[in-house]
Structure 1
Amino acid sequence: MTIEDFAGPVAIIAGGLSHERDVSLSSGRNLVRELRGLGVEAQTYDFDRNLLHDLERDQVAVALPALHGQFGEDGEIQTLLELIDLPYVGSRSRACRVAYDKGTARELLRRAGIPVPDSVGLSAQTFRDIGATALMSHVMDRLGDRVVVKPARGGSALGVTGVDGLGALPSALVGSYAYCEDALIERFHDGIDVSVVVLEGDEGLRSLEPIAIEYEKGHEFDFSARYTAEFVSLHRPDLDDKLIAGLGEVACEAHRVLGLDDVSRSDFVVSADGTFVLLETAITPGTTETSVFPFACKESGTSLGEVARTLLERAVRRGA
């Protein structure tokens, strides 16, 4: 089946109620623009109480969720689409619920032999009941003086803080708990940030060109910097071909281990000696104008619109 055979419009589901609503809307706008440029009848639907009614009213043929964070990557939108038997691009709800939790996903990756940072999970309840004084020195003894604190569920660097020294750790945790009741404290790894997008087709998995991400100094953990061109630059990493191939293979393996479908993005830190760790694998890669996904498509000789169209066609063939 090709895009011309669709009985109804393509729904790009964006917005929602999470902290990443604005990013999601930007992702959705870019997808609609790209698809319409290829002649695809695509339109945006917000994640609200009218969503299911609107999808059924318009006889939507297939959906592509562009929701980030809660409700978009935690299995909620996927569950709703499965309930109404609407074909959609992306991972099934059960896989999303597992992969969205960074601690759970990281343990699955570690067991599969994929290098991940050493980390400690700490809930807000434990932090309150046990107290910072009793916990913090033990955390630093295990992980070192430089750590990264992040919400166990969420994305776009919201609630993420780089910590250098024991004194700053409690406030970083409090900031993380504003976004999620569970935090992950991980060992800091120095190196370059490299992301690899994985696509799934009828012939299996393939990785797009790895993309290096550089942030202006002081904006490494800044939410706004990820979506402001003057603070972030994307380019092909200056790494040898064997290492680049290795990153692609690990990204594909992470996709398989987590049981994901269609598309994912794995984020690495690559050290100067060529070793690397996998920080996390995103279920719904961003598609804003400053996101890795569109840039990786271009560097790989295609476009975001062409890739999205292929994934939509595949979703329709697969069915709900």
Structure 2
Amino acid sequence: MDWSKQRIAVLYGGPSAEREVSLRSGEAMHQALLRRGYNAVAIDVDRHIAAHLQKNQITAAVLALHGELGEDGAIQGLLELMGIPYSGSNVSASALCMDKGLSKRLYRSEGLPTPAWIELAGDAEEADDLVDHYLGEFPGDAFVKPLDCGSSVGISHCPDKDALIRGVAKALSVSRRVMVERAIHGRELTLTMIDGETLPIIEIKPKKGFYDYTNKYTPDQTEYEVPAKNLAQDAQEAVTQVGLAAYHLSGCRGLARADFMLDDEGTPWLLELNTIPGMTETSLAPKAAAAAGMDFDDLVERILQGARLR
């Protein structure tokens, strides 16, 4: 397809809890396409998005949406119905990866290492009862996460039972379904993939606490080793193998990012797979691309060139 002749929409914003991150990602991607001479417009997604696409005579879409209705297969399904090629993973892969519990069950069934977890559902006011009923005597260190959010929204580190109750309440205030996941201690790594190819592994080192929303999106709160230093060859190969296996098992295409904890024994524990990684000034995917010799505009152009239906 001759992308220079297409009317391209960068879809961003939307109604999810990750809206602010999406706005930053989308604006950066829109500007990159304009610098490359493409006929591109940025559209803030709302319930009238189909009408907006028709009014603007859109013939291709680059997705910069995060979270609900953008990363879960919903917008992908609409674009399929409208016959508009779009970047990134298709409906099924997007829905699968957005559901942390469902995707972890797939990874575990295929022998990929992922931390043990339990799923809870309810309201924030029920957190105390849910923890007592399902977890009883709290077994130890854990993270609590909404099952269907990204960007570290609603995540808590819970070293004891009181913290666990607070963490479950916090996550349930964002989503009715949450996950209590065993904490893995070690090195936090991330592997970015594009079109089935891997980019350099990054190590994430928050200056304080864990890699939460604040540390992720506030400049100078986290140090990044790009590529990760002093990472043994067998550990690099293990991370790459597991990341690519998850990418292909999930049916991903285009850009995706796998997040890991590498324990002291060298096991790469797969935490999740992100099908529309952030593209802000602090985001990981552009850092990995730069380490591979691909500048931001190159990366955005390659994302566009992978746009298609199904």
2:222 to 223, 232, 236: 232
Structure 2 SS opposite 1:115 = coil
Tell me, yes or no, if the aligned pair for 1:199 and 1:206 is still in contact at 8 Å.
yes
Please tell me whether the aligned partners of residues 123 and 173 of structure 2 are also in contact (alpha carbons under 8 angstroms): no
Shift of residue 283, structure 1, vs aligned partner: 1.4
Alignment-derived partner of residue 150 in structure 2: 155
Are 1:188 and 2:187 counterparts?
no
Percent identical residues: 30
- The one-character-per-residue Cα deviations of 1:84-108 (angstroms, maximum 9, x if unpaired) are 1100011111222222110000000
Deviation of the 1:9 alpha carbon: 2.4
Aligned to 2:198: 207
Q: Equivalent residues in 2 for 1:205-284 (5 A)?
A: 205-218=196-209, 220-235=210-225, 236-238=227-229, 239-284=231-276
Q: In the alignment, is the contact (CA less than 8 A) between 2:258 and 2:273 conserved in 1?
A: yes
In the alignment, what sits opposite 2:3?
Answer: 3
Give secondary structure in 2 for the equivalent of 1:269. Answer: strand
Cα deviation code 1:91-127 (max 9, x no counterpart): 1112222221100000001111110001111112695
Query: For 1:50-65, what aligned pairs fall within 5 Å after superposition?
Result: 50-65=48-63
In 1, Cα distance between equivalents of 2:295 and 2:215: 24
- 2:79 aligns to what? 81
- 1:32 aligns to what? 30
Aligned to 2:105: 107
Letter in 2 for 1:54: H
Q: In the TM superposition, what is the alpha-carbon distance from 1:278 to its structure 2 partner?
A: 0.4
CA distance in 1, matches of 2:130, 2:17: 28
Structure 1 pair 56–27 and aligned structure 2 pair: CA distance change class (3 A): same
Determine the C-alpha separation between the residues in 1 that align with 2:129 and 2:216.
Answer: 35
Distance 1:269 1:55, change over 3 A: same
Instruction: Please list every run of 5 or more consecutive structure 2 residues that lacks an aligned counterpart in the other structure.
Output: none
Change (3 A) 1:221 1:254: same
Amino acid at match of 2:206: Y
Q: Structure 2-normalised TM-score?
A: 0.93
Match of 1:302 in 2: 294
Deviations for 1:267-314, whole angstroms, at most 9, x for unmatched residues? Answer: 001123322200000111110110001101100111232132223223
* Equivalent-residue separation in structure 1 for 2:158 and 2:51 (angstroms): 46
Q: Deviations over 1:105-152 (max 9, x none)?
A: 0000111111000111111269569554333334x3xxx311111111
Q: Give the match for residue 13 of structure 1.
A: 11
SS of residue matched to 1:69: coil
Note if contact 1:192-1:212 (Cα within 8 Å) is conserved in structure 2: yes
Q: Provide the C-alpha distance between the structure 1 equivalents of 2:284 and 2:51, rounded to a whole number of angstroms.
A: 33
Q: Do the aligned residues in 1 keep the contact of 2:238 with 2:268 (CA within 8 Å)?
A: no
Tell me whether 267-276 or 60-69 shows the greater mean CA deviation: 267-276
Against the structure 1 CA distance between its residues 58 and 125, is the aligned structure 2 distance closer, same or farther, given a 3 Å change threshold? closer
Counterpart AA for 2:191 = V
Mapped contact 1:136–1:170 kept (Cα < 8 A): no
Aligned-pair Cα RMSD in Å: 1.9
**Residue matched to 1:98:** 96
Q: State the distance in 1 between where 2:39 and 2:67 align.
A: 26
Provide the TM-score with structure 1 as the length reference. Answer: 0.90
SS of structure 2 residue aligned to 1:274:
coil
Q: Deviations over 1:228-250 (max 9, x none)?
A: 11212222212023322321221
CA deviations 1:156-198 (Å, max 9, x no partner) are 1111100111222111111110011111001111112111111
Q: Which residue of 2 aligns with 1:174?
A: 169
